[in-house]
Amino acid sequence: MAAIDVVGAHWSTDDLAGLTVVVTGGTRGVGRGIVEAYLAVGCSVYVGSRNAPSEEDRPSVQRLDGSTAQATYMAVDVRDAEQIGWLVELAVGDTGRLDVWINNAGGAPSADAATASPRFSQSIVNLNLMAALFGATAANTVMQTQESGGLIINIASVSGLRPSPLTAAYGAAKAGLMNLTESLAAEWGPKVRVNGIAAGMLDTGAASDHFGGDEGVSRIAATVPLNRLGTPHDIAGVCLLLSSPLASYISGANLVVHGGGEWPAFHHAMKA
């Protein structure tokens, strides 16, 4: 395996092999990319989502050592603290430990805040904020008992850093998730590190439909300094970095992964 020497610290992808990793909402999009990345480096991966995929829909990943691996899936409602506990019990019961917990489940359809029902808005906050708190708390309970501690990663969004029209409850929940990341890192250190990833605009396989076809995707990508949308594997790579010894002093951070951001609207108005 490739090895890196950083200020006298010898590190390779072998250091991640054998970790027990749990990912919520890991059946498609960003979650699936994260699952595949951890499987590739030799981790035991457990996935909790509302619907566990069929055997034929589960990715089989070739590891760096040439073997193949699959994740273990459990159908759970991540908004239910009791069901989150079942997922923890599954992972710990199989491997005896829990090293990395990734709160990835989330999302929201577009809705006008003025007409969205209270029930709808509450469901968005529950999925994007409360579910992460339940998951983090359950993971922390195990990690605090381990000599090696553990790592919790919250997948947030740039929607929590800027206005989020038509997804106001989602943006507010993601803003709350970033604050939660900092608060839990302060409470749970030094045993447990807690970090967030504020993801920018991503192509998760459905970008063409969401942005109005390939032409729409190209127009949106042109507003990003790197001239492309992000991919699930871009986010997965940051997760692997945070899980490595290279990130051992990173906690309470919300890493913005957005390709340089988005051009401010007034720039386009100036050119019009």
At 6 the pLDDT is 57
Tokens read off for 113? 């805040």
How do residues 68-91 score in pLDDT, each as one tens digit? 999 999 999 999 999 999 999 999
Compute the distance between CA of residue 142 and CA of residue 33 in angstroms, rounded to an integer.
25
More confident residue, 69 or 13: 69
At 271 the pLDDT is 72
Q: Is the pLDDT of residue 122 over 90?
A: yes
For residue 99, the Cα-to-chain-centroid distance in whole angstroms is: 15
Say what percent of the chain tops pLDDT 70.
93
Give the global pTM.
0.93
Strands (E), the chain: 3-6, 9-12, 20-24, 44-49, 61-62, 68-69, 72-75, 100-103, 150-157, 192-199, 254-257
Mean pLDDT of the chain: 92
H or E segment at 102?
strand 100-103
Q: Is the pLDDT of residue 1 over 60?
A: no
Rg of the chain in Å (alpha carbons): 19
Q: Is the pLDDT of residue 254 over 80?
A: yes
Helices (H) and strands (E) in the chain, counts: 9, 11
Active-site residue flag, 38: no
Q: Is the pLDDT of residue 12 over 80?
A: no
DSSP state of 160: G
Among 46, 73, 170, 249, the active-site one is: 170
103: left (phi over 0), alpha (psi -120 to 50) or beta: beta
At 5 the pLDDT is 58
How do residues 133-169 score in pLDDT, each as one tens digit? 999 999 999 999 999 999 999 999 999 999 999 999 9
pLDDT band for 264, please (50, 70, 90 cuts). Answer: confident
Q: Is the pLDDT of residue 94 over 90?
A: yes
Cβ-contact 45, 23 below 8 angstroms: yes
- What contacts 109, CB < 8 A, 6 or more positions away? none
